[in-house]
Amino acid sequence: MSTFKAIVIDKTTTGQNAALKNFDESELMEGDVTFRPEWSTVNYKDGLAVTGKAPVVRRFPMIAGIDGAGTVETSTHPDWKPGDQVILTGWGCGETHLGCYAGKARVKGDWLVPLPAGMTGRDAMVIGTAGFTAMLALMALERQGVTPDRGPVVVTGAAGGVGSVAVALLARRGYHVVASTGRPQQATYLQSLGAAEVIDRAELTAAPRPLGRERWAGGIDTVGSVTLANLLSMTRYGGAIAACGLAGGMDLPTSVAPFILRGVSLIGIDSVMCPQPVRRQAWARLSTDLDRQKMAQMSEEIALSGVIDAGRRILEGHVRGRLVVRIG
């Protein structure tokens, strides 16, 4: 068996430690597909994992990295053969199953989706879990009847990974996008992605009222807590908010008023255990609905050796858009 470079998280007497080190292929976990990750990305959850800021990792040692795109090396799964280009996001990788910040990964073939035609592995990881989540949120709003003619839609944490992709996707679909950010210096960037308005997140951090002035038909929230409560109170009659993040906290200090007086819907978005048919639909749409020039604007490339520092930066709010990781 060979060894390869990987970002490995080990348990220590004071918590945990992440480091780039050699990992033996014989220590990979069970799975019917072994593939070679060529690209990965840094999501907020990856930042939590490599810094130990939250109990994301459930077994040690753990190879971090919840996303990967690469080439199948060996397979006993009927859907995959050597040479196939695949995408992996979620399913507990980097948490309970060894992840993709590595030269090799062994996983269940049922977790993989094919790389869409016309998309490179790098493109897929510019999108990653963050962009995949943004598309799931958009699809949920569409199912709820939140269409461009219904009025503005708001995106919180708009300069982050999920937020950047959400702004670009919604704008391309014809929505009037209100981008909320705590980084006013990113206003030009958000407008370049398609935001029609940029507001300061302070507008959404006051103590929430049961009902506020109706401002938007729907939204995608990456923050949670007080911000989400304010979004709900300001959503128009029959609107919907898709919630997919907790950067501001896991609590939700709201009331039933938006739900029973305005018919507002709160839709939870989970990307980790999302069923395969929905995954494939989302990736098919990402391959056509996301402007490639916008993808280039929102992405920065780093090496595997830069992941741990990037994890710290993303938690500190110093990362704009998407970080794509070159493996190897």
Domains in the chain, start-ordered, CATH in brackets? 3-115+298-326 (3.90.180.10), 129-268 (3.40.50.720)
Q: Which structure tokens are listed for 1? A: 């068996």
Residue 293: predicted pLDDT: 86
How confident is the model at residue 321, as a pLDDT?
Answer: 87
At residue 1, the pLDDT reads 59
| Best CA proximity match to 297, nearest among 188, 139, 223, 138 | 188
Q: Which two tokens stand for residue 12?
A: 């220590």
* Packing angle, helices 161-172 and 121-143, rounded to 10: 70
Q: For the chain, first and last CA: distance in Å?
A: 18
Phi, psi of 134, rounded to the nearest 5 degrees:
-60, -40
- Whose CA is closest to 175, among 143, 142, 207? 142
- DSSP-assigned letter for residue 207: P
Peptide bond between residue 148 and the one before it cis (omega within 30 degrees of 0): no
DSSP state of 208: P
Q: What is the pLDDT of residue 317?
A: 87
Helix (H, G, I), strand (E, B) or coil at 44: helix
Q: What is the pLDDT of residues 234-266, one digit of tens each?
A: 999 999 999 999 989 999 999 999 999 999 999
* Predicted pLDDT of residue 262: 98
Residue 13: which residues within 8 A CB-CB, separation 6 or more? none
pTM: 0.93
Taking the C-alpha atoms of residue 33 and residue 309, their distance in angstroms, rounded to an integer, is 30
H-helix or E-strand containing 74?
Answer: strand 67-75
**Residues in the chain with pLDDT < 50?**
none
Q: Is 275 exposed, middle or buried (0-12, 13-18, 19+ CB in 10 A)?
A: exposed
**Quick one: pLDDT at residue 54?**
83
pLDDT for 15 equals: 86
Residues with Cβ < 8 Å from 111, sequence gap 6 or more? 88, 90, 91, 93
Q: Within a 10 A sphere around the Cβ of 312, how many other Cβ atoms?
A: 14
Closest among 86, 222, 90 to 165, alpha carbons compared: 222
C-alpha distances in Å from residue 257, one per residue of 146, 241, 244, 262: 20, 15, 22, 7
Tokens linked to 249: 């906290």
Please tell me the distance from the alpha carbon of residue 72 to that of residue 24, in angstroms, as a whole number.
Answer: 18
Quote the tokens at residue 199: 């507001």
